[in-house]
């Protein structure tokens, strides 16, 4: 008798654990427990072995077990019906939950655009480390020991003697390219650079540059002008005019700043161009022979030009962003304005 009680308990646990997901599962349950060759039929058959004085008690137990199984079957059927009703009641035309999609950062948009323009002219992209040594950042670029840019007030030093610093321009990447590669060299170097500046609307302690370098035989200032002219036309449109102003950089000779005609007033004069009709856009020049010699490139045989521009500056002119701090504040209201810009 005790073994029958135990056996029924075990069956009950098994029945309780039975998982039904659809009508087919419920049918499996019915055949297994309630079918003509099912478990209930089997356990009912045990009655004949039960001694006569215990038959009444055993009969009650078995009936109770049968009832339990039938009730369980009804519950399972009901739950399947409820589920399918729920599915039928769903309104499939309701709008879904919108997953927020980000946009590209304006600086990345502009950098990608710059890169794609120069890639069409045969330039390839070169990258280098943001932590640099003195030689690649300053020495190789012909900046003398006492150049003010080397001052602690302008540059973030990580270590001194030997000097390790956060690169102040991407010219260090040009240095690393010339170190490894012989002319012809035609690269652009996009990347982040660091200066020890007080953060304001017009200055930041980090910003982004794209520099370019072209070294080959017979590269002239005319090549420089035409390359940069092509660039601004592709970036700002065919109507933009350019002008070059003499300048000084230790790594180029001669050097020039390039201005473009003001995009806001078209050259008539406004606040953006300080009523001159022109806005400065980049620095450029012919690579100083000493820089070439620093890398064993024969400056009598080879010449080259280099240029460098601030990505923030181009972005400012293209999208009228007037505060540098906006770029790194991660304000979604600012970033969302560039949705759809490719």
Residue ranges in contact with Zn ion by CB under 5 A:
262, 264-265, 270, 272-273
Position closest to Zn ion via CB? 262
Q: Which is nearer to Zn ion, 250 or 277 (CB)?
A: 277
List helix spans (H) across 33-105: 39-45, 55-89
Residue pair 155/196 in contact (Cβ under 8 Å)? The answer is yes
Dihedral over alpha carbons 289, 295, 301, 304 (to 10 degrees): -60
Q: Which is nearer to Zn ion, 38 or 269 (CB)?
A: 269
Residue pair 110/121 in contact (Cβ under 8 Å)? The answer is no
Q: Which residues contact 33 (CB under 8 A, 6 or more apart)?
A: 15, 39, 40, 69, 73
CB of 314 to Zn ion, least distance (A): 16
9: tokens are 């308990």
Q: Which is nearer to Zn ion, 254 or 267 (CB)?
A: 267
Closest listed residue to residue 142, CA positions, set 270, 272, 251: 251
Compute the distance between CA of residue 255 and CA of residue 221 in angstroms, rounded to an integer.
Answer: 10
CB of 273 to Zn ion, least distance (A): 3
Q: Which is nearer to Zn ion, 149 or 279 (CB)?
A: 279
Q: Which is nearer to Zn ion, 26 or 315 (CB)?
A: 315
Compute the distance between CA of residue 32 and CA of residue 35 in angstroms, rounded to an integer.
Answer: 6
DSSP code of 329?
S
CB of 272 to Zn ion, least distance (A): 5
CB of 318 to Zn ion, least distance (A): 15
Compute the distance between CA of residue 75 and CA of residue 284 in angstroms, rounded to an integer.
Answer: 82
Compute the distance between CA of residue 42 and CA of residue 46 in angstroms, rounded to an integer.
Answer: 7
Q: Which residues contact 45 (CB under 8 A, 6 or more apart)?
A: none
| DSSP reduced 3-state for 154 | coil
Q: Which is nearer to Zn ion, 139 or 266 (CB)?
A: 266
CB of 281 to Zn ion, least distance (A): 13
Q: Which is nearer to Zn ion, 132 or 259 (CB)?
A: 259
CB of 260 to Zn ion, least distance (A): 11
Residue pair 134/175 in contact (Cβ under 8 Å)? The answer is no
CB of 322 to Zn ion, least distance (A): 13
């Amino acid at each position: 008798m005790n073994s029958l009680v135990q056996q029924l308990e075990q069956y009950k646990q098994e029945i309780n654990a039975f998982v039904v997901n659809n009508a087919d599962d419920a049918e499996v349950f019915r055949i297994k427990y309630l079918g003509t060759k099912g478990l209930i039929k089997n356990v009912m058959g045990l009655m004949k072995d039960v001694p006569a004085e215990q038959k009444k008690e055993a009969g009650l137990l078995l009936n109770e077990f049968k009832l339990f199984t039938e009730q369980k079957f009804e519950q399972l059927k009901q739950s399947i019906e409820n589920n399918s009703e729920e599915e039928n009641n769903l309104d499939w035309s309701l709008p879904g939950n919108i997953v927020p999609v980000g946009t590209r950062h304006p600086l990345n948009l502009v950098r990608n655009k710059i890169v794609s323009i120069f890639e069409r002219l045969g330039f390839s992209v070169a990258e280098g480390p943001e932590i640099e040594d003195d030689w690649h950042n300053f020495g190789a670029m012909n900046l003398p020991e006492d150049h003010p840019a080397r001052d602690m007030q302008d540059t973030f030093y990580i270590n001194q003697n030997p000097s390790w610093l956060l690169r102040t321009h991407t010219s260090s990447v040009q240095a690393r390219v010339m170190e490894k590669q012989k002319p012809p060299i035609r690269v652009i170097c996009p990347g982040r650079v660091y200066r020890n500046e007080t953060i304001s609307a017009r200055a930041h302690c980090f910003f982004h540059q794209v520099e370019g370098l072209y070294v080959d035989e017979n590269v002239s200032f005319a090549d420089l002008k035409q390359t940069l002219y092509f660039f601004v036309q592709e970036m700002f449109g065919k109507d933009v005019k350019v002008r070059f102003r003499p300048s000084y950089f230790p790594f180029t000779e001669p050097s020039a700043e390039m201005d473009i005609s003001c995009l806001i007033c078209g050259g008539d004069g406004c606040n953006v161009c300080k009523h001159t009709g022109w806005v400065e856009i980049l620095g450029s020049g012919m690579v100083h022979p000493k820089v070439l010699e620093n890398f064993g490139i024969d400056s009598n045989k080879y010449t080259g030009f280099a240029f460098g521009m601030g990505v923030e500056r181009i972005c400012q002119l293209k999208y009228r962003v007037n505060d540098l701090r906006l770029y790194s504040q991660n304000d979604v209201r600012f970033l969302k304005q560039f949705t759809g810009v490719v």
